[in-house]
Structure 1
């Protein structure tokens, strides 16, 4: 294959997307102009390993807890795709990787061509808009967004309230060929049944009392783009069959009209409800469920994204108080990382906004978060200790952390109906740690 190398390099150089050529030892043999421009404008990467350049690792990705497309391709002998968080001149950014093994005359893998495409719908660093995160749970969710985005498949977003389903819907839309057309949001929970059909499909003049003019519906407004059905579990049964027709045929009728209209929309839906249970109970059509859930994506709760709290907090502070350059003290960050946030990212934003209003300086301290969380209506012991003995601040913060953790554990214990093993798994701790914490708060560890 050595005699083919110049032709291969010339081919790579002609490609508009960033590409590199690798050998079996992860060494970069060539990088085309698009790669050099986007990822390495100041220094050559030739001769260096891909894992050192992209991740600053000293070992291959698969030995550092990452998914390595080259290692996977060597095993499968096929094209492999992964989503990676790469170091770039603009900071850490998500990049879609597509790697293809090239065979020599003996049929052995000799080289690997890697294509890189920045995923611009999420960041691994604080930004004022869009998805932010780098935890494993977040990356798994984001990889599904990257895979389904360019397709036309219907997407069902599943997750607790406050996990950012509308942001993920926006990311799916932005990663699709429909990104230049509108994303239209339908809040299914807020539309009364009597208005649902006319809002979704539109109505003709005189269709009902008060319909003085014809009005296009949200389906028509979304033509060419994406229709996002938020809280799809709240759609009335009578409307579900009409929505099914739209999904299956792309047709609908305005209220008061017999004319069959066509539209071209991609449907993304979201719910915090258990749709399968609703199907079993007869409250949601089974055929509609399967049409909506062609590609389901589960959104992780914030308690599953502890590593993202610092990133999210920095990004949210930029959004709620952009002029103040606020930061979190170490004790405050630890406090936020311990709190379970049943309201997820939405609750974190609210807490930070309240804490920002309570803070006079540029640093948010545990006392501000305590008051924002409503854990102590009296003057905070942390503030009193700071005034009387500055050196006692750390111990006061630790006491506050313990009180918040105790209250959170008691709330989880009260709401949980399963075994202690299930509760430990839900909290992300071992059973031994759970039993120790239960003894500390005076609960019987062996209770059911």
Structure 2
């Protein structure tokens, strides 16, 4: 191992934040980049790393995070984890890479830690092109993004519409060595088959009627950078083989040319479709699927990260109405928290924009949110009741409420209680929003002792057909 003096000199030459510390978390050295990032007005040498970066009074693994030092002491190898660090600019997500430096006897006493910020993600943000969240589901997704970004592997983003796949693709690009080169988006769903090849691969002058000049394709425009294929499940079968050739050899031909061209692109693709089912039906090539999905990343729907709704709502209001200081009334926020959001973050933004138009002051009220939700309401999906932790109707409703396990019963009661607080309409409207029948809603309110809090007359049972 190098001498401590040599290590300190080496760390100082690195542009990224680095520290040298011992197995007791005590910082032995920190380069200028680290001091500027985490403690511009104070000394860090001699302090514990978790005190500086997290403001914790105990190690990360004792405070709910994954500690790279603890992992390295167990494995004896380099470890990488995603952390949420405190900086003078506020909280930010960082990718931690810890390298153990064994002594002459193989013992681990000293470690080097590199801190790399994820520029496109924050726990909260008012910037437009930013991933926002701090829920466990969001952090699991972000950890995979941090793993994928610096690599060259093809990434497949999977998730429902409106979950932010283009933002994730941008985060992968900006966290890669290709960040200084272009990110080119191909909207596969909007390109008809007749134009797909020309748009993606380009064409020569005279290649077809109307081709009055040579045109470079999106593949060529992305040279050195990242090609993002959005809704890759919509690529025509005839084009899939040409895309496969590009992925396997980096070569392609313009329409109307025999010249084999070469490009250097990293491919990130996305889809809300079930590609495995499409393969079984013969509508998507199996070989192309495996080339695209070297590293799949699942984007959680909003109903799986409900605790992020307040952060997202705050950020979205700043983005869509930057000239107004809009806030959400607590009951308006609670109403958003129980909505299933089948359209995910895109639907949340739509609701907030609509509600803001009804708001004459600085605070969006529950009735503004109700108006926005009613205007965009569509039939509740079959999974709505399940997403809200409410047992849906069965094929035949039993005369009495069937007993539920205690934990599920408590979740159901809490969900109903929150829905009642946020609802100002009839019991029928509430039942429709929850995806259950009015009779089932009455039974559940009665079983949970919530009838006095419910909409409509508490003593009137719903009409029976």
- TM-score in terms of structure 2 length: 0.81
Q: Aligned equivalents of 1:324 and 1:257: distance in 2?
A: 54
SS at structure 1 position matched to 2:23: coil
* C-alpha distance in structure 2 between counterparts of 1:247 and 1:430, whole Å: 49
Q: What CA distance in whole angstroms lies between the structure 2 residues aligned with 1:290 and 1:102?
A: 37
- Partner residue, 2:27: 28
- Residue from 395, 399, 408 that aligns with 1:431: 408
**Shift in alpha-carbon separation, 1:442–1:233, aligned structure 2, 3 A:** farther
Q: Which residue of 1 aligns with 2:424?
A: none
Equivalent residue number for residue 150 of structure 1: 150
Indicate conservation of the 8 Å contact 2:226/2:268, yes or no. yes
List structure 1 segments (4+ residues) > 6 angstroms apart after TM superposition: 410-418
Alpha-carbon distance in structure 2 between the residues aligned to 1:371 and 1:75:
55
CA-CA distance at 1:435 after TM superposition: 6.2
Contact 1:184–1:221 (8 Å) recurs in 2:
yes
Report how many residues are paired: 406
* Structure 2, unaligned runs of 5 or more: 396-405, 417-435, 448-465
Counterpart in the other structure of 1:12 = 11
Pairs within 5 Å for 1:376-391: none
How far 1:291 sits from its partner (Å)? 0.6
Structure 1 range deviating more: 3-12 or 105-114:
3-12
> Deviation at 1:102?
2.6
The separation in 2 between residues aligned to 1:197 and 1:276, in whole angstroms, is: 24
Contact 2:39–2:52 (CA under 8 A) maintained in structure 1:
no
Q: How does 1:378-417 map to 2 (within 5 A)?
A: 408-409=384-385
Secondary structure of the equivalent of 2:101? strand
Aligned to 2:432: none
Hey, what does 1:426 align to over in structure 2? none
Shift of 1:172: 1.1
Unmatched tracts of structure 1, length 5 or more: 378-403, 419-428
Partner of 1:116: 115
1:329 paired residue number: 329
| Residues 1:222 and 2:222 are matched in the alignment | yes
Superposition deviation, residue 111 in structure 1: 2.0
User: CA–CA distance in 1 between the matches of 2:82 and 2:370?
Assistant: 38
Structure 2 CA distance for partners of 1:178 and 1:441, relative to 1, 3 Å: farther
1:232 and 1:417 mapped to 2: Cα distance?
A: 37
Aligned-residue offset at 1:161: 0.2
TM-score by length of 1: 0.84
Deviation at 1:280, TM superposition (A): 0.9
SS of 1:189's equivalent in the other structure is helix
Q: Pairwise CA RMSD of aligned residues?
A: 2.8
CA distance 1:210–1:25, change in 2 (3 Å):
same
In 1, Cα distance between the equivalents of 2:158 and 2:15? 36
Report SS of the residue matched to 2:118: strand
Cα distance, 1:376–1:318 mapped onto 2, change above 3 Å = closer
1:277 aligns with 2:277: yes
| Correspondence for 2:234 | 234
Q: Distance in 2 between matches of 1:117 and 1:176?
A: 11
**1:356 matches 2:356:** yes
Q: Distance in 2 between matches of 1:183 and 1:316?
A: 24
Deviations 1:219-238 (A, max 9, x none): 12212211111110011111
Give how far 1:374 is off: 0.7
In the alignment, what sits opposite 1:390? none
2:116 counterpart of 1:140: no
- Structure 1 residue 262, shift from structure 2 partner: 1.6
Alignment partners' CA distance in 2, 1:308 and 1:278: 32
Matched, 1:201 2:178: no
1:56 partner SS? coil
Match of residue 55 from structure 2: 56
Tell me by how many angstroms 1:296 deviates: 0.8
Contact 2:313–2:352 (8 Å) recurs in 1: yes
**8 Å CA contact 1:91, 1:125 repeated in 2:** no
**Residues of 1 paired with 2:11 and 2:250: CA distance?**
41
Return closer, same or farther for 1:410/1:10 CA change in 2, 3 Å cut-off: closer
Q: Structure 1: how far apart are the matches of 2:37 and 2:391?
A: 52
CA distance in 2, matches of 1:57, 1:366: 38
Residue 179 of structure 1, CA deviation: 1.5
Pick closer, same or farther for the CA change 1:246–1:410 going to 2, 3 Å.
Answer: closer
Q: How does 1:231-310 map to 2 (within 5 A)?
A: 231-310=231-310
Q: Distance in 2 between matches of 1:59 and 1:94?
A: 19
* Offset at residue 285 of structure 1 (A): 0.3
Distance 1:296 1:360, change over 3 A: same
Secondary structure of the structure 1 residue equivalent to 2:283: coil
Separation (CA, whole Å) in 2 of partners of 1:345 and 1:83: 23
- Matched with 2:67 is 68
Whole-Å Cα distance in 1 between the matches of residues 154 and 171 of structure 2? Answer: 14
Indicate the SS of the match to 1:59.
coil
Quote the Cα distance in structure 2 between the aligned partners of 1:100 and 1:411.
42
Report the alpha carbon displacement of residue 24 of structure 1 after superposing the two structures with TM.
Answer: 2.0
Q: Distance in 2 between matches of 1:90 and 1:434?
A: 37
Question: Aligned-pair distance for 1:8?
Answer: 3.4
